[in-house]
Amino acid sequence: MNRIRVFLVDDTAAVRHILTQILEEDPDIVVVGTASDGQQGLERLSRVEADLLILDVEMPGMGGLDMLKALKARQSTLPVLVFSSITERGAMVTIEALSLGASDYVPKPAMVGTAAEARDYIRNSLLSKIKSLFKLEPIAPTKLSTPTITPGHGYRRIPSRVDLVVIGSSMGGPKALGEIMSALPDDFPVPILIVQHMPAVFTKALAARLNQNSKLSISECDQTTVIGPGQVLLAAGDYHMTVSRKANQISAAPLRSEPVNFCRPAVDILFNSAAEYFGANTLAVVLTGMGQDGLDGCRALADVGAQILVQDRASSAVWGMPGAVSRAGLATAEYPLMKMADEITRKVNRGRPVFRTRLERQDGKRNHEVPG
């Protein structure tokens, strides 16, 4: 395999020096250039061949967001990892960068102890994400109009009325969630619970960003909350999220217990509680992400007859989480991201004749238009 060519943009010389040292300790990676701000980065990047951009988003002069926008204006497909501070401002800017198309982010170390511990943190978190982005098998083009149906290994797949939607995501998730949440109708008839792998400050910023661009009410689950139709809760960073039902009252709650799959929040915790309280009336969705968090929860959901959708490989930033569910034969179907919102809406619509999907609304509007 050819070495991964990395370009670094950060306004601090010491950070550029440390990142270069850490990255080039790995024989699969070479740093082909650095820059101290976005403008210098654009100029120097045009003169080298790079496979990946590692970008600080908070810089004097041209910052990371403006550089990203300039790259997108050039129709660049260069993958971008954001290297950002764990502050409220840093989190908000990072979420904005992810919505602009950055592949993922790595928080800068804060209060991690010694310099050696900080280097270890950067090495472990950064290298794992780089390897996940570049050690994937080639993806053959697929027809987006044709979903892959995977009936599973003997699991009951008789569709039941959906009373709850649960979603799990990781790397590439913020952008995928943004596309789905912005496309769901304002009269969505059931609650939605989301686990996205992120630290605490970042989940708060992500919830605010999603809420800003959605017709639904989206907030962070920082306390036990009774939820109703059209309400969306995002698990708070460093807390799991569980769901329960008593009579007709649905509640979601944060849970401070040990990490699962090295994650807190973990998708498995949410999915397992959904299987316990909602059974076949659950619709689970597994989006892009590293690892296999959500696999055990999907086994529990499949055992009780729940429907499980996974994002297809071609539209995933990393096909780890959805791929694990697909390979285990647990998925009801695989869909490209651009079709996922409508498929969620369609499945929730089943048994609710008054409720219509976004496409049906558009078709109805066109059918009632008067020519001329």
Under DSSP, the state recorded for 279 is G
The catalytic residues are: 170, 197, 293
Length of the chain: 372
Predicted local confidence at residue 353, as pLDDT: 64
Count CB neighbours of 145 within 10 A.
7
Q: How confident is the model at residue 147 (pLDDT cuts 50, 70, 90)?
A: low
Q: How confident is the model at residue 138 (pLDDT cuts 50, 70, 90)?
A: very low
Stronger pLDDT, 165 or 1, i.e. the higher one:
165
Strand (E) or helix (H) holding 116: helix 115-134
Quote helix, strand, coil % in the chain, to nearest 5.
40, 20, 40
Taking the C-alpha atoms of residue 191 and residue 251, their distance in angstroms, rounded to an integer, is 10
Q: What is the pLDDT of residues 17-68, one digit of tens each?
A: 999 999 999 999 999 999 999 999 999 999 999 999 999 988 888 989 999 9
Q: Determine the average pLDDT of the residues in 360-368.
A: 53
Give strand ranges (E) for the chain: 4-9, 29-35, 52-55, 80-84, 104-107, 148-149, 164-169, 192-196, 217-221, 225-227, 231-235, 240-246, 249-255, 282-286, 307-311, 333-335
Candidate from 171-175, 313-317, 353-357 with smallest mean pLDDT: 353-357
Q: What is the pLDDT of residues 96-107, one digit of tens each?
A: 999 888 988 888
Strand pairing partners for 221?
235
Predicted local confidence at residue 87, as pLDDT: 77
Q: How confident is the model at residue 113 (pLDDT cuts 50, 70, 90)?
A: low
Q: Are 226 and 242 in contact (CB under 8 A)?
A: no
How does the average pLDDT of the chain come out, rounded? Answer: 87
pTM of the model: 0.85
All domains in the chain, ordered by first residue = 4-134 (3.40.50.2300), 148-360 (3.40.50.180)
Q: What is the pLDDT of residues 252-288, one digit of tens each?
A: 999 999 999 889 999 999 999 999 999 999 999 999 9
Maximal CA-CA distance, the chain: 73
Q: How confident is the model at residue 191 (pLDDT cuts 50, 70, 90)?
A: very high
